Amino acid sequence: MTAPAREPLTEDEVRSLVDRGSQDRCAIEVIEGGPALVRGAAAVADGDGVEHPACRPVVGVCTCHLSQRAPWCDGTHKVAAARLRSG
Protein backbone atom coordinates (compact mmCIF):
# COMPACT_ATOMS: atom_id res chain seq x y z
CA MET A 1 0.00 0.00 0.00
CA THR A 2 1.30 3.45 -0.89
CA ALA A 3 0.24 6.51 1.04
CA PRO A 4 -1.79 8.83 -1.16
CA ALA A 5 -0.38 12.24 -2.01
CA ARG A 6 -3.31 13.96 -0.34
CA GLU A 7 -3.24 16.29 2.61
CA PRO A 8 -5.14 15.18 5.72
CA LEU A 9 -8.61 16.64 6.15
CA THR A 10 -8.75 19.84 8.16
CA GLU A 11 -11.24 20.57 10.92
CA ASP A 12 -13.34 22.65 8.49
CA GLU A 13 -13.34 19.85 5.93
CA VAL A 14 -14.43 17.34 8.57
CA ARG A 15 -17.17 19.74 9.70
CA SER A 16 -18.43 19.93 6.13
CA LEU A 17 -19.00 16.14 6.24
CA VAL A 18 -21.18 16.39 9.35
CA ASP A 19 -24.93 16.47 8.79
CA ARG A 20 -26.30 20.00 8.52
CA GLY A 21 -28.40 19.69 11.67
CA SER A 22 -25.31 18.94 13.77
CA GLN A 23 -22.64 21.14 12.15
CA ASP A 24 -23.08 24.15 14.43
CA ARG A 25 -23.26 22.24 17.70
CA CYS A 26 -20.77 19.41 17.24
CA ALA A 27 -17.22 19.56 18.58
CA ILE A 28 -14.31 18.43 16.42
CA GLU A 29 -10.80 17.64 17.59
CA VAL A 30 -8.33 16.67 14.88
CA ILE A 31 -5.65 14.32 16.21
CA GLU A 32 -2.35 14.95 14.43
CA GLY A 33 -1.54 11.91 12.30
CA GLY A 34 -4.87 10.31 13.20
CA PRO A 35 -8.62 10.75 13.05
CA ALA A 36 -10.85 13.66 13.92
CA LEU A 37 -12.89 13.03 17.04
CA VAL A 38 -16.40 14.34 16.41
CA ARG A 39 -18.74 14.81 19.34
CA GLY A 40 -22.46 15.39 18.89
CA ALA A 41 -22.94 14.58 15.21
CA ALA A 42 -26.02 12.69 14.08
CA ALA A 43 -24.36 11.55 10.83
CA VAL A 44 -21.17 11.98 8.82
CA ALA A 45 -20.89 11.71 5.04
CA ASP A 46 -18.28 9.71 3.20
CA GLY A 47 -16.41 10.95 0.13
CA ASP A 48 -19.35 10.06 -2.10
CA GLY A 49 -21.75 12.13 -0.01
CA VAL A 50 -23.50 9.13 1.54
CA GLU A 51 -24.42 9.88 5.14
CA HIS A 52 -23.59 7.30 7.81
CA PRO A 53 -25.37 7.54 11.19
CA ALA A 54 -23.08 8.33 14.11
CA CYS A 55 -24.09 5.59 16.54
CA ARG A 56 -21.90 6.79 19.41
CA PRO A 57 -21.54 10.13 21.20
CA VAL A 58 -17.96 10.43 19.89
CA VAL A 59 -16.94 9.05 16.50
CA GLY A 60 -13.52 8.88 14.84
CA VAL A 61 -13.61 10.29 11.32
CA CYS A 62 -10.79 9.36 8.96
CA THR A 63 -8.67 12.31 7.91
CA CYS A 64 -5.95 10.36 6.07
CA HIS A 65 -8.09 9.09 3.17
CA LEU A 66 -6.88 5.50 3.71
CA SER A 67 -9.70 3.95 5.74
CA GLN A 68 -11.60 1.06 4.21
CA ARG A 69 -14.59 2.03 6.39
CA ALA A 70 -14.91 5.70 5.40
CA PRO A 71 -15.98 8.01 6.83
CA TRP A 72 -14.84 6.19 9.98
CA CYS A 73 -11.23 5.71 11.00
CA ASP A 74 -10.29 2.02 10.88
CA GLY A 75 -6.73 2.45 12.21
CA THR A 76 -5.03 2.31 8.82
CA HIS A 77 -3.34 5.65 9.56
CA LYS A 78 -1.11 3.79 12.04
CA VAL A 79 0.07 1.34 9.36
CA ALA A 80 0.75 4.15 6.89
CA ALA A 81 2.76 6.09 9.50
CA ALA A 82 4.81 3.00 10.40
CA ARG A 83 5.62 2.39 6.73
CA LEU A 84 6.71 5.97 6.26
CA ARG A 85 9.01 5.69 9.31
CA SER A 86 10.57 2.44 8.06
CA GLY A 87 11.22 3.91 4.63
The site for ligand FES (CB under 6 A) is made up of: 34-35, 62-64, 66-67, 73-77
Nearer to ligand FES, 34 or 40 (CB): 34
8 upstream amide cis, omega within 30 of 0: no
Cβ–Cβ < 8 Å for 51, 44: yes
Nearer to ligand FES, 21 or 29 (CB): 29
Nearer to ligand FES, 35 or 38 (CB): 35
Work out how close the CB of 44 gets to ligand FES at its nearest, in angstroms, rounded to a whole number. Answer: 13
Q: What is the largest CA-CA distance in the chain?
A: 43
